[in-house]
Amino acid sequence: MDGSERVIKHLEITQGVINRLAHNSFLIKGWSMTILAAAILFLARVDNINSVYLTLSFIIPVIGFWILDGYFLWQERLFRGIYNDIRNQEDTDFKMDIPAQLKKPKNQWSNATLSVTLIIFYLTELSFLGLVAYILSCNQYT
């Protein structure tokens, strides 16, 4: 196997990692929405407890999913950087140099977690929880 064939194989391996990370991020979003829907259905059936506080307690898992989703997006971005580095090589040693990616600007976990797409997705979920808490608080006092 010559150098260009090794580079192509290395790119295929790296692309596989990127695809798995993207799939994990997709699954996290699905689980987050599923748990949010289950929480709302649960709250609709609860009568004797302060459902406003219970609704607000569901903020914790949403934020947890946001942090986990940010982690997977961050890892995906790091591996995309590795992919771009490999793409410019003529031969490869199959090394995936994460520390080199961390030195690049905007390759930090906080940048991925606070990306526009994650902010929109998770703030929408949090806003929905806030709306449900508001509706439940209005219903408790009427």
Confidence band for 141, pLDDT divided at 50, 70 and 90: low
Confidence band for 130, pLDDT divided at 50, 70 and 90: confident
Give dist(CA 2, CA 7) in Å, integer.
Answer: 9
Residue 57: predicted pLDDT: 80
Say what the pTM is: 0.86
Burial tier of 74 (Cβ tally within 10 Å: 0-12, 13-18, 19+): buried
Each residue's pLDDT tens digit, 41-55:
877 776 656 666 777
pLDDT above 80 for 120: yes
Give the mean pLDDT of the chain. 88
